[in-house]
Structure 1
Amino acid sequence: MALNPPLRPEYEVSLPPLLDLPVERELSRAQRLWQQGWLRKSLILLVLAVIWEIAARYQNNDLLLPGFVQVSHALVEGIISGELLSKVAISLNVLVKGYLLGIVLAFVMTSLAVSTQLGRDLLSTLTAMFNPLPAIALLPLSLLWFGLGEASLLFVLVHSVVWSLALNTYAGFQGVSETQRMVGRNYGLRGLRFVWLILIPAALPSIVSGLKIGWAFAWRTLIAAELVFGASSGKGGLGWYIFQNRNELYTDKVFAGLVVVILIGLLVENLIFSLIERHTLKRWGMQR
């Protein structure tokens, strides 16, 4: 016997208007400006510059601590004369070469590590051996092997980049989910195509972190190498500029060189790496 439940009559419920809800106020101009990250960072730099100037005036010894204004004058003079810019160009030329070589070598090693057991053993053994070894400690050996030239600096730069990048990249590859790996295998991806199309996009946050760490290590290794061992191939870079002015007791120029080192680090971080993250990680929802 079929059941025929009674039909419920339709009805409407009249709701009172929502009049007591608080209305969100529009942000003021100051609040909108405060939402800008570049403005907050600029204020931090301005506060640090003021503290620096106050400390220098209190110290009252230009040889030990020149003020921010005095260092700014030395920086502008170095840029106008072209001396400082030429030193920066020499250092960046060597740095980019060593950085790119380190990236290529790190990706070759990690690709082998995710493909073969021998590659995994090789990567774990080499990183355990050489990652704790300071790059600057290898410079005397590289000078013995390659002589006083660009090749010596490239050797230590590659060492400073490859191990941190390889460790971060391999850790990112290990964190790729099995589901994504199965998708790649179902499409018949093997070897380098599997690494390029599946592992690298999935492990991109770790890879970008490794690239940042490798860049920082390479930059400070290059400056330290030029400070300790001077010019390479008869050409002195930014570290040599700092070292030479320290010998001649031009402390304001020494600080100007250090400021350029800091500014280049800030530009690379906030322009190049931020651009990469904005167009990849944040765009793909992999980073907030």
Structure 2
Amino acid sequence: MSLSPPVRQEYEVTLEPFTQSELVRDISLPRRIWQQAWVRKGVILLALAVLWELAARWQNNDLLLPSFLQTANAFIEGVASGELLSKVWISLTVLIKGYLIGIVLAFGLTTLAVSTQLGRDLLSTLTAMFNPLPAIALLPLSLLWFGLGENSLIFVLVHSVLWALALNTYAGFLGVSETQRMAGRNYGLRGLRFVWHILIPAALPSILAGLKIGWAFAWRTLIAAELVFGASSGKGGLGWYIFQNRNELYTDKVFAGLAAVILIGLLVENLLFNTFERLTIKRWGMQR
């Protein structure tokens, strides 16, 4: 006796044609709103503000922890008077100068590193020496070499940007596939043209990560350095604004200055870097 599975009769199921309008109708309005990144981030910020307000009311000591509403009021007054905006302008002016110089030097080092063996040895040696060194630790030397002023700040900013960006850029260059390299060589690209047309577009995700890290390092280094420069020379940007109000026990203004630092970081991240990322690597399918 042979065992065999039962034979099932074949049949077809006719499906209704799928349309995009049906998909839109299936997603409710609240869910569509929640899918917006700025809405979710706004909810997070609102929740943090509520927790801050509750913690301040529970603490009940304005000198130690002013409430969110008190800080917001000090921030609005600082903006309306122009004092806070002038400090922000001073800090950003110095920051952009140091940041741009650091970018130029980083790309110069990495271009040399992908072109020659001596450049690779130079980059690996310098990054091993100086990357672990905190930028703020060079502040006494910068004061000795450049004196009190903008040049000393720019020196420590270049140090904070240079090594992080150089390491990420060089790692991105090394990750470029051999197929892309061969395609560039077949078109006769050499030297700077090879770096500009082949390596930089292919390594753009790593370069953008390095730019973000360099910006974050430079921003916090600047604020920390301005605390010292402000105490020494009586002038400065946001760091000096925070230091001065801390000495005068205006804690709400101290928090307003810190809020300005955070807001500038959020604006740069979401308006500058995210926009550049969306228009380049995400649009090209290099990153999800």
**Which residue is 2:61 aligned to?**
61
Stretches of structure 2 that go unaligned for 5 or more consecutive residues are 1-9
- Distance between the aligned counterparts of 1:134 and 1:183, measured in 2? 41
Q: Using a 3 Å threshold, how does the CA distance of structure 1 residues 248 and 286 change in structure 2: closer, same or farther?
A: same
**Which residue is 1:186 aligned to?**
186
Percent of pairs with identical residues: 79
Q: Which runs of 4+ in 1 moved over 2 A?
A: 13-19, 21-25, 231-235
- TM-score of the superposed pair, with normalisation by structure 2: 0.92
Name the aligned partner's letter for residue 92 of structure 2: L
**Which residue is 2:226 aligned to?**
226
Equivalent pair of 1:71/1:255 in contact (CA under 8 Å): yes
CA positional deviation for 1:229: 2.8
**Which residue is 2:270 aligned to?**
270
**Which residue is 2:200 aligned to?**
200
What do you get for the CA RMSD once the two structures are aligned?
1.9
Name the aligned partner's letter for residue 40 of structure 2: R
Name the aligned partner's letter for residue 198 of structure 2: I
CA positional deviation for 1:242: 0.2
Secondary structure in structure 2 of the residue aligned to 1:230: helix
Q: How does 1:67-86 map to 2 (within 5 A)?
A: 67-86=67-86
- TM-score of the superposed pair, with normalisation by structure 1: 0.92
**Which residue is 2:5 aligned to?**
none
CA positional deviation for 1:23: 8.8
User: Does the alignment pair 1:260 with 2:260?
Assistant: yes
- Distance between the aligned counterparts of 2:23 and 2:195, measured in 1? 52
- Distance between the aligned counterparts of 1:191 and 1:23, measured in 2? 51
Q: Using a 3 Å threshold, how does the CA distance of structure 1 residues 23 and 136 change in structure 2: closer, same or farther?
A: closer
- Distance between the aligned counterparts of 1:113 and 1:206, measured in 2? 16
Deviations 1:121-146 (A, max 9, x none): 00000000000000000011000000
Give the alignment partner of residue 18 of structure 1, picking from 12, 15, 20.
15
- Distance between the aligned counterparts of 1:227 and 1:23, measured in 2? 55
Stretches of structure 1 that go unaligned for 5 or more consecutive residues are 1-12
Secondary structure in structure 2 of the residue aligned to 1:133: coil
Equivalent pair of 1:226/1:237 in contact (CA under 8 Å): yes
- Distance between the aligned counterparts of 1:146 and 1:34, measured in 2? 52
Equivalent pair of 2:229/2:235 in contact (CA under 8 Å): no
Equivalent pair of 1:150/1:232 in contact (CA under 8 Å): no
User: Does the alignment pair 1:43 with 2:40?
Assistant: no
- Distance between the aligned counterparts of 1:46 and 1:140, measured in 2? 41
Q: Using a 3 Å threshold, how does the CA distance of structure 1 residues 196 and 18 change in structure 2: closer, same or farther?
A: closer
Q: Using a 3 Å threshold, how does the CA distance of structure 1 residues 232 and 204 change in structure 2: closer, same or farther?
A: farther
Name the aligned partner's letter for residue 243 of structure 2: F
Q: Using a 3 Å threshold, how does the CA distance of structure 1 residues 120 and 25 change in structure 2: closer, same or farther?
A: same
Q: How does 1:89-238 map to 2 (within 5 A)?
A: 89-230=89-230, 235-238=235-238
Equivalent pair of 1:87/1:238 in contact (CA under 8 Å): yes
CA positional deviation for 1:226: 0.7
- Distance between the aligned counterparts of 2:155 and 2:116, measured in 1? 27
Name the aligned partner's letter for residue 122 of structure 2: L
- Distance between the aligned counterparts of 1:261 and 1:168, measured in 2? 25
- Distance between the aligned counterparts of 2:15 and 2:94, measured in 1? 67
Q: Using a 3 Å threshold, how does the CA distance of structure 1 residues 233 and 181 change in structure 2: closer, same or farther?
A: farther
Equivalent pair of 2:74/2:256 in contact (CA under 8 Å): yes
Equivalent pair of 2:95/2:219 in contact (CA under 8 Å): yes
**Which residue is 1:283 aligned to?**
283
Name the aligned partner's letter for residue 225 of structure 1: A
Equivalent pair of 1:106/1:166 in contact (CA under 8 Å): yes
